[in-house]
Amino acid sequence: MSRLQIFEDTNPETALVDTIDGAAIAAELKKIDVRFERWAADAELPADADDNAVLQAYAKDIERIKAEGGYTTVDILRVTKDFENKKAIREKFLNEHTHSEDEVRFFVEGSGMFYLRVGGKVYMTLCTAGDLISVPYGITHWFDMSDSPHITAIRFFENTEGWTPNFTGTDIAQQFPKYEKDAAA
């Protein structure tokens, strides 16, 4: 279940907002120019669906987002508990960074936590299967998929080089709790 918690960036203990309502999440994130949507697949996906089946199931929404955002490429990110480099891939995005293009992800299965820092606040956004989030380029953020990742996401790109993280060098990410799946519910 999706969830949004908003904190002052100096106080990770007391949430100013805490909601699981999809419309409320979208409205709060829209205030900082972040897009949040819920999607449903056009076709039932089998548990062993390959990348092409995933792309076909969401083809209409993918084409709509590509046209609206000028994205030229999509791919599939899959990380599970058996993924060989899961610790390294988790660590890579646990520090605050920006990108030179939008970070757009649609969660097909599993979950992950985006931490967006804007205007002195941290927006802890739990994304789960069915969620689309579009973080505009330049917004400081970090991402956690937990120590037991399970995520399949469609990623949208204008240019894959734009996805390279530009780290801010702050320690803000260490001041907020990491994403632990059991604690997020």
Nearest-angstrom CA–CA distance, 83 and 86: 5
Instruction: Give the pair of three-digit tokens for residue 35.
Output: 């897009």
pLDDT of residue 185: 47
* CATH number assigned to the domain with residue range 3-160, chosen from the 4 options 3.10.20.30, 2.60.120.10, 3.30.360.10, 3.40.50.300: 2.60.120.10
**What value does the CA radius of gyration of the chain take, rounded to a whole number of Å?**
16
In degrees, to the nearest 5, what angle opens at C-alpha 33 toward C-alphas 58 and 158?
Answer: 50
Domain boundaries, the chain: 3-160
- The 10s digit of each residue's pLDDT in 168-179 is 999 999 999 999
pLDDT of residue 84: 86
Instruction: Give the pair of three-digit tokens for residue 106.
Output: 């649609």
DSSP code of 135?
E
Residue pair 29/125 in contact by the 8 Å Cβ criterion: yes
DSSP labels, 39-65:
---SSPPPTT--HHHHHHHTHHHHHHH
**Mind listing the pLDDT tens digit of every residue in the chain (185 residues)?**
999 999 999 999 999 999 999 999 999 999 999 999 998 877 777 777 899 999 999 999 999 999 999 999 999 998 887 888 888 888 888 999 999 999 999 999 999 999 999 999 999 999 999 999 999 999 999 999 998 899 999 999 988 666 688 999 999 999 999 998 765 54
Element (H, E) at 169: none
Instruction: Report the predicted TM-score, pTM, of the whole model to 2 decimal places.
Output: 0.92
* Sign, CA torsion 147/152/157/159: positive
Instruction: Tell me how far CA of residue 117 lies from CA of 21, 148, 165, 170, in angstroms.
Output: 21, 25, 15, 12
Q: For the chain, what's the residue count?
A: 185
